[in-house]
Chain A
Amino acid sequence: MTFTLPNPLALIAELTHRCPLHCVYCSNPLEMQSRANELPTEVWSRVFKEAAEAGVLQADFTGGEPLARTDIVDLIRAARAAGLYVNLITSGLPMEEAKLAALVEAGLDHIQLSFQGTRENTANEISGTKSHAHKLRVLEWVKRHRIALTLNFVIHRRNIDQLEEMVALAESSSATRIEFANVQYYGWAFANRENLLPTRQQVNDSVEFIKREQERLQGKIRIEFVVPDYYAKYPKPCMGGWGRKLLLITPSGDALPCHAAQVIPGLLFENVKDRSLREIWEHSAAFQKFRGEDWMQEPCRTCDRREQDFGGCRCQALLLAGDASATDPVCSLSPLHPKIDVILNEMSTAPPGQVVLKPAWLYRPNPV
């Protein structure tokens, strides 16, 4: 079957790997880029222009912590000037009210503020910093400056019982959107999986709760829910399909089809310092690798759902099946699915309410 290449719709700009937080499920790679390797303002500005020309509508500024960039105001202005919608994905640290006003003035469209929970002690434990109280102050400033807001909660075993409090926090803020994103198990989260995976009962309860709240808050707050795919029947259509909608630029300028793509051996990534974004999108071997269906194995190759979920996540296939071209083992149709059941059965034996000792977390360090 021939594959018609669509335009990319969103650019995920990982501006830096530096971050004041040390979250135990961070989506950054285990090997992080140092400040010295970060792209300068001019290169990012060119990338934003090239992105808009290639059809990109939205720029998601992320990191690390994007506010760690001293040129963040200039970067926002450059992305807006290129015609992009600018979304800042932030922990809220380091932020002062005057800084927020400057970001808004530069054309920031939307802020996605992350919370690690609603209770100071667990939130600080998960982020490895005292950050929760400051986030609450940021919430007030965001309201005062009337900037569109999404609250993001990464969900796991240790905070999944706080969903009700999380919704209440959102209702007391100016948020029009909540993102409940269950931890996805790559990188740091993969290393901390045994202390993060929720139980089946917790997942079932949360799904029901969120369905009720989506109805109750319809027209007021939009609730997005990212399911924990270890418990799903079918895999997630990771990134909307490999190289179909999104591209991610690392702090040093490598163009990746997804956050975790560097774990796949043998993929060569092009750098925006050497080639234009459109060239990379159209021709980069890494982007071509899992486009279309030719790379698929059974049961994906003949599956009715192959155009819905594209065989799931390539990085998860590598992590769990040892083969990036395999069916994502979280799929109930995968011959390796019993491996997931083994992992889940091991998890469910430890009641989450009875954790007395602090788990031996592997915290994400800060690159120099």
Chain B
Amino acid sequence: MTPDPNSRPRLAPGCRLGENNNQRVLLMPERALRLNGPSLEIVERCDGKHTVGQIVADLQKIYSKAASEKVEQDILGYLALLHDQRALDFDL
């Protein structure tokens, strides 16, 4: 799937941010993902309030040295991956 830029991603039921020994993690049923740098910036914004478009714009600002199309592509790919893992739902 390709996330709609106007949709608002939020963590799916049973998924939440956690922390262990100063490492932020995305906790999910039977699995967990370590979050660092951009992945943490993205997941922190999956709160049902930010739109996909806003997340892209925010990260393009934070990572202004990277090519903005590349940042957008990476974010859309990461959101789709989390969606396929049933970690995200998208509100329209």
Contacts and interface: CB of A to CB of B under 8 A. Distances in A.
Interface in B20-60: 20-21, 25, 27, 29-30, 32
A271 B30 CA distance: 25
A87 B13 CA distance: 13
A85 B32 CA distance: 10
Interface in B55-92: 83-86
B83 A87 contact: no
A291 interface: no
A168 B47 CA distance: 31
A6 interface: no
A219 B86 contact: yes
A258 B20 CA distance: 24
Contact of B19 (A56, A83, A147, A148): A83
Contacts of A222: 85-86
Given A52-B20, A83-B19, A219 B83 contact: yes
A57 interface: yes
A68 interface: no
A87 B84 contact: no
A218 interface: yes
Nearest to B19: A83
Interface residues of B, number: 19
Contacts of A338: none
Nearest to B13: A148
Contact of A219 (B14, B29, B32, B84): B84
Contact of A55 (B13, B18, B20, B27): B20
A195 interface: no
Interface string A49-88: 0001101111000000000000000000000000101010
Interface in A75-112: 83, 85, 87, 109-110, 112
For chain A, which range describes its interface: under 10, 10 to 19, 20 to 34, or 35 or more residues? Answer: 20 to 34
A87 B16 CA distance: 13
Given A176-B12, A176-B14, A221-B86, A150 B21 contact: no
Given A146-B13, A148-B13, A176-B13, A85 B18 contact: yes
Interface string A99-139: 00000000001101000000000000000000000000000
A348 B32 CA distance: 40
Interface in A132-182: 146-150, 174, 176-177
A176 B89 CA distance: 11
Given A109-B14, A219-B86, A222-B85, A87 B29 contact: yes
A347 to B, nearest CB: 30
A58 B32 contact: yes
A9 interface: yes
A144 to B, nearest CB: 13
Nearest to B20: A57
A87 B32 CA distance: 13
Contact of B27 (A85, A177, A219, A220): A85
Given A176-B12, A219-B83, A148 B29 contact: yes
Contact of A110 (B1, B14, B21, B85): B14
Given A85-B16, A110-B14, A176-B12, 6 more contacts: A57-B20, A83-B20, A85-B18, A109-B29, A148-B13, A218-B84
Top 9 A-B pairs, shortest CB-CB distance: A148-B14, A148-B13, A85-B27, A110-B14, A222-B86, A110-B29, A57-B32, A176-B86, A219-B83
28 contacts: A53-B21, A55-B20, A56-B20, A57-B25, A57-B27, A57-B32, A58-B32, A85-B16, A85-B18, A109-B16, A109-B27, A109-B29, A110-B14, A110-B29, A146-B13, A148-B12, A148-B14, A148-B15, A150-B29, A174-B13, A176-B12, A176-B29, A177-B30, A219-B83, A219-B86, A221-B86, A222-B85, A222-B86
